[in-house]
Every structure is written in C-alpha cells, then in structure tokens.
C-alpha cells in the first residue's frame, strides 16, 4: 500500500506577491510594508514616553512610525499600539522549517496499518498537560473523541487505546501511568510560558524518562500552539506538533515511527 500525502497547495502558489524572494508586510496596499505593533515601556504616560517609543521604532528600522494608542498601566508603565513600515523583505524561497519526518496519511490508511502491519494489538497512547500547565484544549483536541474543527481525536481511531490525564500533571505521575499502561507513545502538551518554565519542565520530563531506563520504551511526542518540531528535538522528544496540527498528523507519525521500529 502506498502512502498518500495530505492534499495541500504549495505556500508560494498562494502568495499574493509576484516576488517570493522579497516578501514584505502589507496593510492597505500590497507591499506597503505596514506593521502594527503593541508593546509596553517602563515609563509613565507622557509626551516623552511617546517620543521614546518612536525612537525605539526607528532604531528597529521602521519607516514612518506612528503611535496610535496609549494606555496607562497604573504601575509606572505605558502600553503602546503603533504602526510603521518595514520594506526590507524576506526571501521566502530560502526558508526551510524542520518538521516531523512522516507522510500524512488518511484515516483509513492509518487504521489499516495498525490492524495489519503493526503490533497485533491497539497502539496504547497516554497524554497530559504537565507541570503547572492548565491548558487542556490542545491535548483534548488530539486525544478525545470530539477532537476539534471537524478532526476527531485518537479515541475515534480503530486500533488506538487512549488515556488522557488532563492538566497540571506532575512529570512523575505521567511517567508512572505510562509505565502502568505499557504505553507505546506519551504525548505532552505545553503552552509556552514566561521565563522558559516550559523548557525546564520538558527537559526534566525527558531526564526522568531516561533515568528510569524507559527512553527506548516510549515514543515521546510534544505539542502546543507555539511548539515546533525543532524545539521538541532539542529537549529530547521524538517529534513536535504545533498550530494547525490534528490527530491525523500525530497518528500518521506514530504508525510510521512504530513501523520503523519493527
């Protein structure tokens, strides 16, 4: 059986610009370079604060910067909304983003592979939001039957046994549950946090898995709205899935990775 790729249109084919080697922002008119920015400065609202913001925008290389809104943060700081133009451009054709190395299969292909080629039993998957993370939308979308945006979760796939531990699960609890379930894959969902708390938590998770001699036992999959495959690899996971990822993407990776192990 040959794998079929997800039907997508190349990003350059959808571009409005005729020159993908020089892509610039636009607001009112194509290639006008207009940007909207919001930021805070640790100075109280004043004409001097606005001038400081304008100087910062000019130093960033923005042309014709304008402050269009300010708000007193009541803490000695000021919040700004500003506009400016940036016309230098980005070479879109030179961009290469690391992605999980798997072909996106359709649901029927995934279920056929599980039933006919893999373990002779369902794939056992467990997942959670770990540490202090209380955001369950992502892990629920991937694991739960309902899924999201018309894409049902792994619970709906034949050949998958799924356990969702929810939010704020300590790393040790997830690892112990994965061992008890004899999981094939452990899914960790994280929203990027301030001061890189998520990085420390994810690194600690992998360290604990390795310390218990389980690293070769589980496929480790990381997900979240600002997670990238590159980040996942850096902290020791096997794959990372960010925005615009659904259960089918994760299932495709799992069946192909497990088939590769066999």
Q: For 80-106, what is the HEC assignment? A: EEEEEECCCCECHHHCCCCCCCCCCCC
Please tell me the total number of residues recorded for the chain in this structure.
262
Residues 210-252 pLDDT 10s: 999 999 999 999 998 888 899 999 999 999 998 889 999 999 9
Residues 26-83 pLDDT 10s: 988 888 999 999 999 999 999 999 999 999 999 999 999 999 999 999 989 999 999 9
Q: For the chain, which residues make up each domain, given as ranges?
A: 17-95, 107-261
pLDDT of residue 9: 41
Of the listed 7, 96, 108, 146, which one is catalytic? 146
pLDDT of residue 244: 87
Report the alpha-carbon distance of residue 70 to residue 80 in Å, rounded: 5
Structure tokens at 25: 């922002």
107-261, superfamily in CATH? Cobalamin-binding domain (3.40.50.280)
- Residues 6 or more apart whose CB falls under 8 angstroms from that of 100 comprise 229, 239, 240, 241, 249, 253
Mean pLDDT of 160-181: 96
Is 17-95 in CATH node 3.90.1200.10? no
- Residues 6 or more apart whose CB falls under 8 angstroms from that of 39 comprise 53, 79, 80, 82
Assess whether 146 carries a catalytic annotation: yes
Does the reported pTM lie above 0.75?
no
pLDDT band at 8 (very low <50, low <70, confident <90, very high): very low
């Amino acid at each position: 059986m040959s794998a079929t790729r997800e039907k997508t249109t190349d990003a350059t084919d959808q571009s409005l610009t005729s020159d993908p080697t020089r892509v610039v922002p636009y607001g009112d008119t194509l290639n006008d370079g207009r940007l909207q920015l919001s930021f805070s400065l640790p100075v109280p609202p004043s004409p001097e604060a606005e001038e400081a913001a304008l100087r910062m925008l000019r130093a960033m290389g923005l042309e014709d910067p304008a402050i269009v809104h300010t708000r007193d943060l009541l803490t000695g700081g000021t919040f700004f909304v500003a506009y400016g133009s940036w016309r230098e451009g980005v070479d879109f054709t030179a961009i290469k983003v690391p992605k999980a190395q798997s072909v996106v299969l359709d649901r029927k292909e995934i279920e056929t592979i599980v039933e006919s080629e893999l373990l002779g039993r369902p794939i056992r998957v467990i997942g959670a939001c770990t540490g202090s993370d209380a955001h369950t939308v992502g892990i629920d979308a991937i694991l739960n039957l309902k899924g999201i945006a018309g894409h049902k979760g792994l619970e709906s796939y034949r050949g998958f046994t799924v356990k969702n531990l929810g939010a704020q699960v300590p790393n040790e609890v997830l690892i112990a549950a994965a061992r008890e379930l004899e999981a094939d894959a452990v899914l960790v969902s994280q929203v990027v946090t301030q001061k890189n708390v998520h990085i420390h938590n994810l690194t600690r998770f992998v360290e604990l898995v390795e310390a218990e001699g389980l690293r070769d036992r589980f496929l480790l999959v990381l997900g979240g709205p600002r997670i990238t495959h590159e980040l996942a690899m850096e902290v020791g996971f096997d794959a990372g899935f960010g925005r615009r990822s659904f259960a089918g993407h994760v299932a495709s990776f799992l069946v192909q990775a497990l088939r590769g192990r066999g």
